[in-house]
Amino acid sequence: MKKEENGSVKKRWPTIDVMRQIYEKHLWGGEKADFYSGDGSHLGVIVDPYIKEVSVFLKSFKKPLVICDVGCGDFNIGRQLVEFSEKYFAVDIVSALIERNKIKFKNDKLVFQCLDICNDDLPKADCIFVRQVLQHLSNIEIQSFLTQLKNYTYCIVTEHIPNGHYEPNVDVVTSMGNRLKKKSGVDLMAHPFNFKPIASYELLRIVLDDESCIQTMVYQNF
């Protein structure tokens, strides 16, 4: 448990409980009758450029890649990328969300799985999508996840970060929020994660009005 500045103790809820509560209470918005993964998964100014650039990346390979999409959420984005894959594993920690997705989205290439990305073994694939997932997790959980990230040839990682210079990887308690209030963001190649791919480049940067941006990086491990 984490001690707050006023001396009180804040309980660290398991990630599964945090994420389940976010969807049950619609803390990311949306209609009360359904699951909604937030405006970042639905606003055209954010979604459309991402779909365009990731589609181009996937189509650049002669043989379609096997994809593992972790934190797939309500699958508004993933549904637009399945066609470019050989097989598409869509993973989320909330079981009710996964069951909803199984009913709503049908494709012979598509497999939904309910898994905890920090503790469960993830599907084998050529490429992993991690889209605005790590920003909600504590550093300990990110560190645990990184042991699996190294298993994928290509990692497409998207994070909401401040524009310009910032202090990376300030630790937080797992929640619906991110590190922006602490003027920080997740940078996997910085301390304490020190992720070392053989190659990396920025695929996309979407600058927002609030002096922050959504950055998508491509990492190649081997």
pLDDT, tens only, 36-75: 999 899 999 999 999 999 999 999 999 999 999 999 999 9
Kindly list the distances between the CA atom of residue 40 and the CA atoms of 16, 139, 160, 202, in Å, as whole numbers in the listed order: 21, 22, 10, 19
Count CB neighbours of 220 within 10 A: 14
* DSSP assignments along 32-72, one per residue: TTS----GGGT-HHHHHHHHHHHHHHHHTSSSPEEEEEET-
Number of domains comprising the chain: 1
Asked if 171 and 138 touch (Cβ cutoff 8 Å), the reply is yes
Q: What are the phi and psi torsion angles at 76 (to 5°)? A: -65, -30
Q: How confident is the model at residue 9 (pLDDT cuts 50, 70, 90)?
A: very low
- Structure confidence at residue 10 (pLDDT): 40
The label of the residue with tokens 């695929």 reads 203
Please report the pLDDT score of residue 133 as a whole number.
Answer: 96
Q: Residue 105: which CATH number?
A: 3.40.50.150
Output the pLDDT for position 210: 76
What pLDDT was estimated at residue 13?
A: 55
pLDDT digits (tens, 9 = 90+) for 12-44: 457 888 889 989 898 888 877 689 999 899 999
Q: Look up the domain containing 203 and give its range.
A: 2-220
Other CB atoms within a 10 A radius of the CB of residue 7 amount to: 6
| Mean pLDDT rounded to a whole number for the chain | 92
Q: What pLDDT does 16 receive?
A: 85
- Give the residue ranges of DSSP H helices in the chain: 15-24, 44-59, 95-104, 139-149
